[in-house]
């Protein structure tokens, strides 16, 4: 049986990825910031839970030592842990900026850094870094979330060159809004005295909520695609864009350029 590590596996899409892989015959190493959050995974065949805080190098190292003691090899690491922050730059807060960078970007960096030596010793391994369509296009109120996902894309591609000699490959996954706890848990900036700010925040919220509701079939599609990638990883760095929204935005942005794309966003969202 193959072994997969999944970060942020206590809830949301991370938990469902863990369940799908386990049902498909994989040993799932489900990691989460607090083991109490993963009670729904306890006792499920092929799933083992470990405490791991992606923002803490010490926590990652402790978890890694336990995992490699329990499992002879690690085939795939899925960096799934992530948070959202929807804010105007003017109203942003240091603590919230630091948190999203620590989880969404530096968390991926630290987990990869910790497990590269394991993969290198094994002479094989695959990192799947969950990005977002936000890592390929830019939309209103996404200054911080989009920035972290762009960073994951660049980091992953650069790292792939470094590790190709050791039979270690990297993929990134982009998709749009999918029904899960993620959107419900997105942190937002406080209401402002500026009416235009409040109106735009409300408008973006409605747009994303409606998109999420329409994408009811997206989550199963993402999970199935992740399993396919894990079972047959590409040798060289590869981006996978999943779902109609993500593919449409990606193709549109690349074909018409940033200026026309920006005009389209302003006309459809800002007016």
Distance CA 46, CA 61 (A): 23
Plot region of 197 (φ>0 → left; ψ -120 to 50 → alpha; else → beta) = alpha
161 carries an active-site annotation: no
Distance CA 200, CA 203 (A): 5
Ranges of beta strands (E only) in the chain are 3-6, 27-32, 47-51, 76-79, 85-86, 125-130, 168-175, 187-188, 238-242
Q: Count other C-beta atoms under 10 Å from residue 222's C-beta.
A: 24
Distance CA 192, CA 201 (A): 10
Work out the angle between the directed axes of helices 107-122 and 57-70 (0-180°, nearest 10). 30
What DSSP designation does 267 have?
I
The DSSP H or E segment spanning 44 is: none
Q: Which of 85, 145, 161, 240 is catalytic?
A: 145
Ranges of beta strands (E only) in 58-167 are 76-79, 85-86, 125-130
CB 230, CB 239: distance < 8 Å: no
Distance CA 226, CA 34 (A): 24
Residue 244 tokens read as 């109609």
Residue 6 tokens read as 């999944």
CB 169, CB 235: distance < 8 Å: yes
Query: What is the set of active-site residues?
Result: 145
């Amino acid at each position: 049986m193959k072994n997969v590590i999944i970060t942020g596996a206590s809830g949301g899409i991370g938990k469902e990825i863990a369940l799908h892989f386990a049902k498909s015959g994989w040993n799932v190493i489900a990691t989460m910031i607090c083991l109490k959050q993963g009670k729904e995974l306890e006792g499920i065949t092929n799933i083992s839970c470990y405490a791991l805080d992606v923002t803490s190098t010490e926590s990652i190292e402790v978890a890694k030592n336990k995992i490699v003691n329990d499992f002879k090899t690690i085939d795939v690491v899925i960096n799934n842990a992530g948070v959202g922050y929807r804010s105007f730059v003017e109203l942003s807060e240091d603590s919230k900026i630091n948190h999203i960078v620590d989880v969404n970007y530096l968390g991926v960096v630290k987990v990869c850094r910790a497990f590269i030596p394991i993969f290198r010793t094994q002479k094989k391994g695959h990192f799947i870094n969950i990005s977002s369509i936000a890592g390929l296009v830019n939309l209103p109120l996404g200054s911080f979330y989009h920035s972290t996902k762009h960073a994951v894309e660049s980091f992953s591609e650069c790292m792939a060159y470094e590790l190709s000699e050791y039979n270690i490959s990297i993929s990134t996954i982009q998709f749009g809004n999918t029904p899960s706890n993620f959107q419900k848990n997105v942190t937002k900036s406080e209401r402002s005295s500026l009416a235009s700010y409040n109106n735009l925040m409300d408008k973006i919220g409605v747009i994303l909520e409606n998109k999420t509701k329409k994408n009811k079939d997206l989550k199963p599609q993402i999970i199935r695609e992740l399993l396919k990638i894990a079972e047959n990883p590409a040798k060289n760095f590869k981006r996978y864009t999943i779902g109609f929204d993500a593919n449409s935005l990606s193709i549109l942005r690349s074909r018409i350029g940033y200026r026309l794309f920006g005009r389209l966003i302003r006309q459809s969202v800002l007016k």
